[in-house]
Amino acid sequence: MSYYNNANRTYSAQGANSYVAKNGKVKKPQLTCKKCTASQQTELTCMICTKTMPLSKFAKAQRKNGERARCMTCLKKKEEEEIEDSEEDDDGDELVYNDTIQELY
């Protein structure tokens, strides 16, 4: 006998107590006790400064990275370094470019 799961619109030959994973295989749901269930994470360790800090010191996008998370302080330092590196240099290259354009016309 097969069961139709209206929420997923899938048929399951195993019965109503199983579900179909994304890869199409039927899995039996596993129950875990309260002690074995993972608790919510309240602290992260920054991969750059290696300090363990509360979640409030990390951006929400960084919290999802887990082991590769960077704190807001380290992110700001990196942004400042990138801004300093990307500032235009006054080499005089612009004059050469303008002279070349004038020669073409």
Averaged pLDDT of the chain: 76
Helix and strand tally (H, E) in the chain?
Answer: 3, 6
pLDDT, tens digit (0-9, with 9 covering 90-100), for 49-89:
999 999 999 999 998 888 899 999 999 999 998 888 776 65
Q: Is the pLDDT of residue 93 over 60?
A: no
Amino acid at 11: Y
Residue spans of the domains in the chain: they are 1-30, 39-86
- In this predicted structure, what is the pLDDT of residue 70? 94
What's the length of the chain?
Answer: 105
Instruction: Give the pLDDT of residue 13.
Output: 52
Q: Give pLDDT tens digits for 7-52.
A: 666 555 555 555 666 677 777 777 888 888 888 889 999 999 999 9
Residues facing residue 52 across a β-bridge = 45
Question: Residue 95 pLDDT more than 70?
Answer: no
* 7 secondary structure, DSSP code: T
- What per-residue confidence (pLDDT) applies to 16? 52
Q: What is the pLDDT of residue 83?
A: 84
pTM of the model: 0.48
Q: Can you tell me the distance from the alpha carbon of 102 to that of 105, in angstroms, rounded to the nearest whole number?
A: 5
